[in-house]
Structure 1
Amino acid sequence: MILKEDENLVTLREVVRDFLDEGDITAAPEGQPRWDPARWARACKELGLAGVAEPEELGGAGIGPAGLMIVLEEAGRVLSPLPILSSVVLGQGLLARAGDYHARAEMLPALLDGSRTATVALGAFGDGGTGFEALDAAANPDGTWTLTGFTSYVLDGATAGWVFVRARAADGPRLFAVDTDDPNITCTVQESMDLTRAFARLDLDRASARPVGDPGIADAVLADLRHLLTIAVASEQLGGAETTVRMAVDYVKVRVQFGREIGSFQAIKHRCADLAIEVDDARSAVAYAVWALQEGSDQLAMAASMAAVVCTRAFVDGARENIHLHGGIGFTWEHSAHLYFRRATSDAALFGDSNHHREAVLDAAGI
Structure 2
Amino acid sequence: MTAPVLVLDAEQEALRAAVRALLTDRAGSAAVRAAMESETGVDRDLWTRLGRDLDVLGLVVPEKLGGAGAGHVERSIVAEELGRALAPTPFLGSAVLATDALLALDDEAAQQDLLPRMVTGETIVALAVAEPGAPWGPGRTTATEGPDGWRLEGRKTPVVAGDLADEFLVVATAPDGPAWFRVSGADVTRSVLTTLDPTRRLAAVTLRGAKAVRLESADPRAALDRVADLAAVALGAEQLGGLAEVLETTTEYAKIRVQFGRAIGSYQAVKHGLADMYSSWEFAVSAVRYAAWAADAAPAELGVAAGVVASFVGPAYFAAARDGVQFHGGIGYTWEHDAHLYYKRAMSTELLFGPPSAARARLADRLGIGTSEGVGV
TM-score greater than 0.5 by the shorter chain: yes
2:73, 2:292 within 8 Å by CA — same for their partners in 1? yes
Q: CA deviation at 1:29?
A: 5.1
Secondary structure of residue in 2 paired with 1:213: coil
Give the letter aligned to residue 143 of structure 2: A
Deviates most, 72-81 or 119-128: 119-128
- TM alignment of 1:199-278, pairs within 5 A: 199-214=202-217, 217-278=219-280
- TM alignment of 1:293-308, pairs within 5 A: 293-308=295-310
Aligned pair partner of 1:19 in 13, 22, 30 = 22
Q: Deviations over 1:327-358 (max 9, x none)?
A: 00001011111111111111111222221121
5+ long unaligned stretches in structure 1: none
2:36, 2:199 within 8 Å by CA — same for their partners in 1? no
Q: CA deviation at 1:133?
A: 5.1
**2:362 equivalent in structure 1:** 360
Q: Distance in 1 between matches of 2:138 and 2:331?
A: 37
Give the letter aligned to residue 57 of structure 2: A
Q: Deviations over 1:53-110 (max 9, x none)?
A: 2122222111111110100011111111211110011111111010110011011121
2:57, 2:91 within 8 Å by CA — same for their partners in 1? yes
Give the letter aligned to residue 50 of structure 2: A
**2:62 equivalent in structure 1:** 55
Deviates most, 355-364 or 83-92: 355-364
- Cα 1:163/1:362, change in 2 over 3 Å: same
Aligned pair partner of 1:315 in 314, 317, 336 = 317
Q: Distance in 1 between matches of 2:61 and 2:100?
A: 9
Structure 1: 4+ residue segments shifted above 2 A: 24-32, 36-39, 124-129, 131-134
Deviates most, 324-333 or 5-14: 5-14
Q: CA deviation at 1:6?
A: 2.0
Aligned pair partner of 1:177 in 139, 159, 182 = 182
2:65, 2:111 within 8 Å by CA — same for their partners in 1? no
Give the letter aligned to residue 154 of structure 1: V
5+ long unaligned stretches in structure 2: 370-377
Q: Distance in 1 between matches of 2:87 and 2:364?
A: 33
2:126, 2:165 within 8 Å by CA — same for their partners in 1? yes
**2:151 equivalent in structure 1:** 146
Q: Distance in 1 between matches of 2:231 and 2:365?
A: 19
Q: Does 1:84 align with 2:87?
A: no
Q: Does 1:167 align with 2:172?
A: yes
- TM alignment of 1:319-330, pairs within 5 A: 319-330=321-332
Relative to the length of structure 2, the TM-score reads: 0.91
1:234, 1:312 within 8 Å by CA — same for their partners in 2? yes
Secondary structure of residue in 2 paired with 1:49: coil
Give the letter aligned to residue 114 of structure 2: M
Q: Distance in 2 between matches of 1:334 and 1:10?
A: 32
- Cα 1:279/1:287, change in 2 over 3 Å: same
Instruction: Give the aligned CA root-mean-square deviation in angstroms.
Output: 2.0
Q: Distance in 1 between matches of 2:132 and 2:281?
A: 28
Q: Distance in 2 between matches of 1:192 and 1:133?
A: 22
Secondary structure of residue in 1 paired with 2:130: helix
Q: Deviations over 1:195-219 (max 9, x none)?
A: 11111111122211111123x6221
Give the letter aligned to residue 121 of structure 1: A
Give the letter aligned to residue 365 of structure 1: L
1:41, 1:113 within 8 Å by CA — same for their partners in 2? yes
Give the letter aligned to residue 166 of structure 1: V
**1:10 equivalent in structure 2:** 13
Q: Distance in 2 between matches of 1:337 and 1:132?
A: 36
Give the letter aligned to residue 163 of structure 2: A
Q: CA deviation at 1:2?
A: 3.8
Q: CA deviation at 1:190?
A: 0.8
Q: Does 1:70 align with 2:77?
A: yes
1:316, 1:344 within 8 Å by CA — same for their partners in 2? yes
- Cα 1:350/1:19, change in 2 over 3 Å: same
Q: CA deviation at 1:256?
A: 1.0
Q: Distance in 2 between matches of 1:79 and 1:50?
A: 17
1:126, 1:132 within 8 Å by CA — same for their partners in 2? no
